[in-house]
Structure 1
């Protein structure tokens, strides 16, 4: 079991049950979210990646969680969050602002920053999804309603 992370403490403080799955993270060959799903023995549709985006009229970054096997539709997501346009934040800027490394970015780990969080509607097909715990190699499984409640997330059509 990895050391307890802030994301786990947050879930516990909200009495949201969770489980932890770990995987081997190789910085020389970083896995994409679908690779992570395979390593932890789940379908990519149940493992969610967190993307950091920004909009022209939004002062803070936005977090959009979507399944490993899906691609973000920037136009559709922009309309869903009330923006004219969204752009993916560049990797270096994402790491600088979040304090997390790409491959270890998770909305639960960034909850203290109060960045607006959005969850793709495809998550509703599952009782539990897995999201990054805020550290490369560590995923937490949490019930979708608990994730939405803890983060104050909005469910949208983003893919």
Structure 2
């Protein structure tokens, strides 16, 4: 019996958004390792970070960044006009999103009130890969479609830059 369709795939199919599903060993949690499995450059595989803003908001922020990027949370908070941002602990991220770490996806959470951000550098690629909403599955799609479906705001995460 084939595995069931991940939540993000169902959403993209309903909206007729072109995409490609790739599956890999669900034990793989690193976006860099996903890139290796998919045979693509790590800059095209976006990891989704769950960030808790201060002052607190109703929902955490979902930040999609290339696998190789380390985010300066202080800089990002300043860009967003927030006092502070902190990375959610794994257990908190799972509780807040209802998805398992390694499968947290802005696509799977689209329309559920989570503010989404994407590194502006990712928009320069023809396609990017993001989690499909379950461990062991990513979706390849055009960055413009990712932004359209998730409502993500592009932010430039290079040192010394501001929001676009």
Shift of 1:36: 1.1
Tell whether the 8 Å contact from 1:48 to 1:65 is kept in structure 2 after alignment.
Answer: yes
Q: TM-score, normalised by structure 2?
A: 0.89
Q: 2:46 aligns with which of 45, 48, 52?
A: 48
* CA distances 1:92-128 after superposition (whole Å, capped 9, x unpaired): 1111111111111111111142200000011122011
Tell whether the 8 Å contact from 1:74 to 1:158 is kept in structure 2 after alignment.
Answer: no
Tell whether the 8 Å contact from 2:21 to 2:139 is kept in structure 1 after alignment.
Answer: yes
Quote the residue 2:15 is aligned against. Answer: 14
- Number of corresponding residues: 156
Whole-Å separation in 2 of the counterparts to 1:104 and 1:113: 16
Tell whether 2:82 aligns with 1:86: no
Backbone CA RMSD of aligned residues: 1.4
Quote the residue 1:23 is aligned against. Answer: 24
Runs of 4+ with deviation above 4 angstroms:
none
Inter-CA distance 82–13: structure 2 relative to 1 (3 Å threshold)? farther
Residue segments in structure 2 that go unaligned for 5+ positions in a row: 159-164
